[in-house]
Structure formats: structure tokens, C-alpha cells
Homo-oligomer: A and B are copies of this chain.
Amino acid sequence: MNLSVNSPALYGPVQDDLRLVDDALDRISRVENFPALTDMLAIVLGATGKRLRPAIALLGGTFGEYQAERLVPLAASIELLHTATLVHDDVIDRADTRRGRATANSIWDNGPTVMLGDYMFAHAAELVATTGDIRVIRLFAATLMKLASGEINQDLSAFDSRETLKNYFSRIGGKTASLFAAAGEGGAIVSGAPEDQIEAMREYSYNLGMAFQIVDDILDFSGDEAQMGKPVGSDLMQGTLTLPSLLLIERSPVNNPVQTLFERRDDGDLQTAITAVRESSILDESHDIARGFRDRASDALAGLPPTAARDTLADLLQYVVTRSS
């Protein structure tokens, strides 16, 4: 199968309702009597991503009573929360572009951009509250705590070459997989799915999120600059150690290129480190680890009834580990 995010089949039974999520995000970006905020929101929400998280929320909602009027706000809320974290990330990283488009902080000052992210968090909270489900609201809040503490952890360990693989997995669990988990679990909860299926969706989504982030970290080394919309090696340049660079450190304890890069922060050192990763078996090994998480996600699917939605969840796993951008 050769699916892509542009393939109409990728999101299966929830493909159409994803358009309702887009409509909801579009409505959010129109703020009465505040044209400046409307402009800011249109720019950050208009950079349409893969909508993978909202799709998982909707798919999770098929295992109980599927109510679009409650699931669509939840899915939009998850996407809004995700986009808000990107807005704050870009302020922190002083990023000029994301997916090839200008970032909010490169257009406005940091001040309005930080507040734009806050506004989006608040709006996401408002949307999730419209589900009327306290359990999902608490899941949402707990997830935002994990996202933020995962990012703090990442920032505080920047340029620290003693960073460990264990810390890496815990960090990406917090900053990426927890939001995927909240999407799948949240959709299942809102639909009133049985507890064991809620747990299966959580387990599936968390492990899919882990695989997703590892592939992201691989693509930062192997990806095509034009397709990714950001320079190769940008994580390393910002002092963030990911799976490939941690494996590189592990196997060259003396004089490894990452340590040299962190000490001198020179572009030539960056190229040396990128080449060292690419010319080794590190990216293959990283893919193996991503596939390990994919397999755990796949195992979790066994706990769900055999529906079209479950087939779509299985297809998404394949997409996540084979994507090239």
C-alpha cells in the first residue's frame, strides 16, 4: 500500500469529518472586533499539517457512540493545543520558518506571539469543555502539563552531551506521544467506549506517537531540506540530542563529533556530525526502534473490535514509519 496524507483513503471512515475539524479551526481563527488576532490565527492555523492527531481522536470515537458534535470539538481542541505548542516552540527556538512558511514570531514580536499561544491554549480548553466530559477535560490538562514539562526537560538538557537514551524516551513521551495518547484515549472516552477499548486506544496512540517522533528525529538527519521546510540537522544545531545523535555519542565515546559541535557550535562541526550519522548504520537502527514502537501499537489494536476504523489505525501505523516528510 502506498498511502500518503493526500490520499483520500488514509483516514478511512473519519475522512469526511476531518473537514468539520478544519471548519471548526477556521471559525476559531475569526475573532470579532480584533482583526490583528484574526490575522495571527489565520497564519498559524492555515499552515495545514497532517491532521494526524484529530484523525486519531475521531477514530477513537468510533468504538463507542460516535457523536460528531462532541468529537469534532475534541479533535479541533487537540489540533489547536498542538499548534499552540508549536507557536511557543518557535518563539523559544527563534525559528524563522516551519514547514517552509514564516513563523508567527518572525512576523510579530515575541510578546504577541507568546500571548497568541496562550490564547490558543485557552481556546483549546474552551473547546474541550464543550464535550461536557470532566474526565476528558482532566486528561487534556494533564497532557498539557506533560507537554510543557517535556519541553522544559528538553530546554534544560540542551547542549548537554551527557543526556541519556532513557531521558530521551521519557522526553519524547512527554512532548509528543502524550498528546497522541490523549487524542486516541479522549475520543474513546467521549464516545463512551468500554474501558478496555479506551485503554487499547491509549496504548495504540502513545506508541504510534513514539514511532512518529523517532521518525521525525531520523528525518532531521536524512530528510530533504526542501520537503521538510527546515534545514537538515536543525535539532543538533539547537543543542537537542535525539535518538540518532545519542546513538552516535554512545558508539564514539572519545572525540565524537557531537561533543565537538556542542563545544564550538560551528557549522563545519554540524556537517561532520550529520555525515557521521548518515554513513553509519545508526539511521537503520533508529528505524528498527521506531518499528518496535509500531509493533507495540499494532499489538494494542488486537484489543479493539475488527472494524473499518481499526483497519485505518493499522494503515496509519504503516504511514507513520515509512513517511519521508
Report Cα–Cα, A131/B152, bound state, in Å. 28
A110 to chain B, nearest CB (A): 6
A291 to chain B, nearest CB (A): 29
Report Cα–Cα, A125/B128, bound state, in Å. 11
- Please state the number of chain copies in the assembly: 2
Is A290 interfacial (CB-CB < 8 Å)? no
Contact across chains for B109 and A155 when beta carbons are under 8 A apart: yes
Contact across chains for A112 and B144 when beta carbons are under 8 A apart: no
Report Cα–Cα, A31/B148, bound state, in Å. 13
Contact across chains for A119 and B149 when beta carbons are under 8 A apart: yes
Q: Which of A15-34 contact B (CB under 8 A)?
A: 31, 34
Contact across chains for B110 and A91 when beta carbons are under 8 A apart: yes
Report Cα–Cα, A232/B222, bound state, in Å. 54
Partner of A115, one of B88, B134, B143: B88
Partner of A123, one of B85, B92, B123, B141: B141
Q: Per-residue CB proximity of A119-163 to B under 8 Å, as 1/0? A: 101110110011010100110111111011101110110000000
Report Cα–Cα, A28/B123, bound state, in Å. 24
Contact across chains for A119 and B152 when beta carbons are under 8 A apart: yes
Residue in A119, A121, A125, A151 with the greatest tally of chain B CB atoms within 10 Å: A125
Contact across chains for B121 and A92 when beta carbons are under 8 A apart: no
Task: Specify which chain B residues have a CB less than 8 angstroms from the CB of A110 in the assembled complex.
Answer: 91-92, 110
A31 in contact with B149 given A137-B129, A144-B118 (CB within 8 Å): yes
17 contacting pairs across A/B (C-beta < 8 A): A31-B149, A34-B149, A37-B152, A92-B115, A110-B110, A112-B155, A117-B118, A118-B121, A119-B144, A119-B145, A123-B145, A125-B137, A125-B144, A126-B142, A129-B134, A129-B137, A129-B141
